[in-house]
Structure 1
Amino acid sequence: MNSRIALTLALCLSVFSCGRKSDVVELQNWNFGGLPQQTAFLRERVAEFNRTHPGVEVTQSDKSWYMIREILYASFAAGAGPDVMNTHANYAAEFSQAGYYYPINRFPDFPQVRQWFVPRLMESTEYRGNCYGLPANAIAFVLCCNQELFDRAGIAPPKTWSEFRAAALKLTRDTDGDGVVDQYGLVLMGGDKGGFAYRLIPFFYKAGADVMSPDLNRIEFNSPRGVAALQLFADMYQQDHSITPGFLAYTHSEVSDLFANNKAAMSIEGPWFRRMIEDKVPGKGMYVVPVPVPDDRIAEYDTAPTLQDLVMYAINARSKHPQEAWELLKFLRNPESDQFWVTEDLGALACTTSALQSPAAAKVPHLPVYLSELKHARPWPAHPQITAIAGNVFTPECLKAIVGELSAQAALDRAAREAQRMIDEHR
């Protein structure tokens, strides 16, 4: 009986091994976040890659953008993780220093591939002389204004901080006369620590404040200009009551709901916001303008930097098939693929020169504003600790200042001390 069982098992194993694709390279592509249209487009692109590259089979897995750092760290620390993934470009410093990202400038054709992209965006994927990803989509943070509410109030989108504060106050109203305010001038995303930092820092940059010194050795966001930026929001919340009172719990969903349903007049956002609102209320109009500047910097309204964010595609440093992963990276980010960010309105900005200069780009709503802002925008400093500083140190202290638990100066000083400690320990 035992010999029969052994023979049966041997035959099964033989059949199984004969059916295996031992000659096919298998790659894992992890897609973090994105609008449904983006996810569908990427799946189509991966399927096309599989059809045109018979020696490679790519499996795509869709994962939460909000858990991206935790998921990647857990996977990489275990010696696992995907071959290819989309991540924040500001992870280039942190993850490459940890040995998790593959330097793509090692590939012989990298100099030619680099020429596809806007130079400023490629620079955001670099750390200490190496490049760790290809730009996937670009973001410049702007001020989105509810067109219906602004037109009804007869006011124009603000350019200066005083205009911004006045507009928010005027647009904070009890619309149905029941004695309860039901429309607010500004909605903030306080329930997402990273998302909040990304929406507050544009005001610091517009004011001329820096997050860190140029040599990345010193924290500088608690400068007088930084304090003034934070004080603006504290005054709007505590004195004017023009910021939605529940903002500490808000994420994308609540922010877009309030804006779409005329409960909020302004939000600090990126190019995805128009599509989010369109999906909720088709045809709803909005004004998209640069983030306002301090009154004494009105001459720099069109050139003062906002925050630049960038998503890039990177390769796992431990991938067993880096060359095949590189081929996938190029396929996902070549000019043909990038053109879809223009023609299909996927909620972010294209990154290749050819796509941004194409005839179709002229039809993209608000694109001139985003491109103008992107021209002068600045990313977060390329320091390995910047993600932790922004979400875990900067945001909590700034929120305390806005709601009145600390003064703006005290909050930023506390955040600066802790951030400086993190930087000093990292040297």
Structure 2
Amino acid sequence: MYVKRILIPLFVGLIACGGDDRPRPGELTTVVLWEFGGVPGLRAWVRQAVADFNAARSDIQIELEFRDWATQRESLISTTIVGDGPDIVRVHHKYSVEFGELGGLYALENFPDFPEVKERILDNVWELVEYDGKHYGLPVTMLPFVLAVNTDIMARLGLEVPKTWDEMLALGPKFAGTGIEPFTMPGGVNLDTAYRFLPLLYKAGGRVFNEDWSAAAFDGPAGQAALEFLVEMKNKGYLPAGSAAYRFDENAAHWSTGKAALSIEGPWWQDIVQGNYDFDLNNLALAQVPGPAEPLEPHPSRTLLDVIMIAITGYTKVPNEAWEVVKALDLDHPVWRNPNPTMGGIPTLKAAYAEGVQSDYIDLDQLATAGANGLGWPGHPAITQIQRHIADAVNMALTGSLSPKEALDFAAEEVNEVLSDY
């Protein structure tokens, strides 16, 4: 059953019977901030930024709580039902559509200065937090998917970074006898797998759904070609033998220990491979994700883009104070004007890419190019369930349980059943 059938009546009823506990002039206002997930560098920054804000302000104090990344949707559902919870949340952009529609998030158009704020953020990321013409979160960091390259391996073998799938396949024989695979990726039954398949689908001109989101489209020519490419890489030994069981951690360990040259990753990779595996960053480069020589469907070639947004909840009693906090921490703070690898993503602020900006990111230009050409997962309420079906299809094809076409067709049938409920 579509969750809005349950939530909207409850939400409206709770608002109708709720008391007026909005802040009164002269009183200290507490703004509750829930931070979901986050790499260690981001968490450390948030703690310090909140402490600095609280020390500088006598009218607003932030109450900070860190929450597990995997509990975002459940937390938003429960707090929306009861009409009580945090005033601000840092979450994945995909929840803007579902909870914007339900009233669980607050439209930024309610703030008079939103047009000026909107102008300071990169244009293409706003579509990811939009529902029905309104925006339900401030896009703060973006995570475009790119190709991570071990330049030491490529240089020792005298190889160029591939730009197409055919060029990736052509690399394979050059690795014979080295004990190193050209490419590695998570291929297990997990969302990491879906997140590596989608950049290839988008590069080939494919999309997850048809135009009106009434049916799956990832099983079309682009999806089949992408999965056939991965299966060919696997069958020829150009992927690790155990990759069909890999999650993110196994894949990161395989690449970081010099056992594979290429992997599809993003702005988190630099900090992860250095911090967790002591990888020499002199041997890391980034490039665009390869695709077919020409798109296979009538859509432009894109790459996958995730966005982390900071959003104000629809039931907050202190929206104006929450907006002050959002702007202070996630718009005006200088950290967003200098792309920082320890933050887990690159900023969406236009000023971060102005001439003369210094950054410790390796190949920031490649990340920025991918970000400008990025396309997110569709903001469908059941997108996590749909991602699991796609991951299952990739895994079944990589293990040989089904052919690429059979696996995608089966997943599409499952997804179409999901879509029929909405």
Q: TM-score range by the shorter chain?
A: 0.7 to 0.9
**Residue 264 of structure 1: aligned partner:** 260
Deviations 1:263-314 (A, max 9, x none): 222111011101211223253312211111113459xxxx831111111001
Give 1:139 shift: 1.6
Question: For the structure 1 residues 197 and 361, does the alpha-carbon distance in structure 2 shift closer, same or farther, using more than 3 Å as the test?
Answer: farther
Unaligned runs of 5+ in 1: 1-21, 176-182
CA distance in 2 between counterparts of 1:248 and 1:320 reads: 48
**Residue 125 of structure 2: aligned partner:** 121
Give, as a single letter, the amino acid of the residue that structure 2 aligns with 1:226.
G
How do 1:17-96 and structure 2 match up within 5 A? 23-96=27-100
Deviations 1:142-172 (A, max 9, x none): 1111112111221111111011123255436
CA distance in 1 between counterparts of 2:79 and 2:273 reads: 34
**Residue 389 of structure 2: aligned partner:** 393
Give, as a single letter, the amino acid of the residue that structure 2 aligns with 1:131.
H
CA distance in 2 between counterparts of 1:139 and 1:378 reads: 11
Deviations 1:30-49 (A, max 9, x none): 21222211111111111122
The answer to whether the 8 Å contact 1:172/1:242 transfers is no
Secondary structure, counterpart of 2:420 in structure 1: helix
Please, which of 390, 401, 404 is the counterpart of residue 400 of structure 2?
404
CA distance in 1 between counterparts of 2:99 and 2:191 reads: 17
Give 1:383 shift: 2.7
Please, which of 202, 209, 231 is the counterpart of residue 228 of structure 2?
231
CA distance in 1 between counterparts of 2:245 and 2:82 reads: 33
How do 1:283-362 and structure 2 match up within 5 A? 283-284=280-281, 285-296=283-294, 304-339=301-336, 341-342=338-339, 345-361=342-358
CA distance in 1 between counterparts of 2:27 and 2:122 reads: 37
The answer to whether the 8 Å contact 2:274/2:280 transfers is yes
Give 1:123 shift: 2.3
Please, which of 137, 144, 151 is the counterpart of residue 140 of structure 1?
144
Identity of matched residues, %: 31
CA distance in 2 between counterparts of 1:209 and 1:330 reads: 36
How do 1:205-284 and structure 2 match up within 5 A? 205-237=202-234, 239-279=235-275, 280-281=277-278, 283-284=280-281
Question: For the structure 1 residues 398 and 252, does the alpha-carbon distance in structure 2 shift closer, same or farther, using more than 3 Å as the test?
Answer: closer
How do 1:175-190 and structure 2 match up within 5 A? 175=179, 183-190=180-187
The answer to whether the 8 Å contact 1:331/1:337 transfers is no
Give, as a single letter, the amino acid of the residue that structure 2 aligns with 1:369.
Q
Deviations 1:361-393 (A, max 9, x none): 466421111112222222222333323212x22
Give 1:249 shift: 4.1
CA distance in 2 between counterparts of 1:318 and 1:240 reads: 55
**Residue 9 of structure 1: aligned partner:** none
Give, as a single letter, the amino acid of the residue that structure 2 aligns with 1:295.
A
CA distance in 1 between counterparts of 2:243 and 2:413 reads: 26
The answer to whether the 8 Å contact 2:338/2:358 transfers is no
**Residue 12 of structure 1: aligned partner:** none
The answer to whether the 8 Å contact 1:338/1:351 transfers is no
Question: For the structure 1 residues 424 and 371, does the alpha-carbon distance in structure 2 shift closer, same or farther, using more than 3 Å as the test?
Answer: same
CA distance in 2 between counterparts of 1:49 and 1:61 reads: 15
CA distance in 1 between counterparts of 2:389 and 2:254 reads: 28
CA distance in 1 between counterparts of 2:75 and 2:121 reads: 28
Question: For the structure 1 residues 402 and 274, does the alpha-carbon distance in structure 2 shift closer, same or farther, using more than 3 Å as the test?
Answer: same
TM-score, normalised relative to structure 2: 0.86
Give, as a single letter, the amino acid of the residue that structure 1 aligns with 2:238.
S
Q: Is residue 99 of structure 1 aligned with residue 96 of structure 2? A: no
Bigger Rg, structure 1 or 2: 1
CA distance in 2 between counterparts of 1:72 and 1:190 reads: 30
**Residue 153 of structure 1: aligned partner:** 157
Give 1:204 shift: 0.7
CA distance in 2 between counterparts of 1:204 and 1:56 reads: 46
CA distance in 2 between counterparts of 1:172 and 1:349 reads: 37
CA distance in 2 between counterparts of 1:262 and 1:66 reads: 30
Give 1:227 shift: 0.5
Question: For the structure 1 residues 42 and 315, does the alpha-carbon distance in structure 2 shift closer, same or farther, using more than 3 Å as the test?
Answer: same
Moved more, 320-329 or 58-67: 58-67
CA distance in 2 between counterparts of 1:48 and 1:139 reads: 27
Question: For the structure 1 residues 264 and 76, does the alpha-carbon distance in structure 2 shift closer, same or farther, using more than 3 Å as the test?
Answer: farther
CA distance in 2 between counterparts of 1:170 and 1:110 reads: 54
Question: For the structure 1 residues 35 and 341, does the alpha-carbon distance in structure 2 shift closer, same or farther, using more than 3 Å as the test?
Answer: farther
Give, as a single letter, the amino acid of the residue that structure 1 aligns with 2:105.
Y
Secondary structure, counterpart of 1:308 in structure 2: strand
CA distance in 2 between counterparts of 1:154 and 1:362 reads: 29
CA distance in 2 between counterparts of 1:194 and 1:60 reads: 28
Question: For the structure 1 residues 276 and 121, does the alpha-carbon distance in structure 2 shift closer, same or farther, using more than 3 Å as the test?
Answer: same
Give, as a single letter, the amino acid of the residue that structure 1 aligns with 2:264.
I
Secondary structure, counterpart of 1:124 in structure 2: helix
Give 1:247 shift: 2.9
Question: For the structure 1 residues 224 and 282, does the alpha-carbon distance in structure 2 shift closer, same or farther, using more than 3 Å as the test?
Answer: closer
Please, which of 195, 198, 207 is the counterpart of residue 198 of structure 1?
195
Secondary structure, counterpart of 1:342 in structure 2: coil
**Residue 9 of structure 2: aligned partner:** none
CA distance in 1 between counterparts of 2:72 and 2:112 reads: 30
CA distance in 2 between counterparts of 1:166 and 1:292 reads: 13
Question: For the structure 1 residues 173 and 50, does the alpha-carbon distance in structure 2 shift closer, same or farther, using more than 3 Å as the test?
Answer: farther
CA distance in 1 between counterparts of 2:188 and 2:61 reads: 39
Instruction: State the Cα RMSD in Å.
Output: 2.4
Give 1:129 shift: 1.1
Give, as a single letter, the amino acid of the residue that structure 1 aligns with 2:146.
V
Give 1:63 shift: 2.5
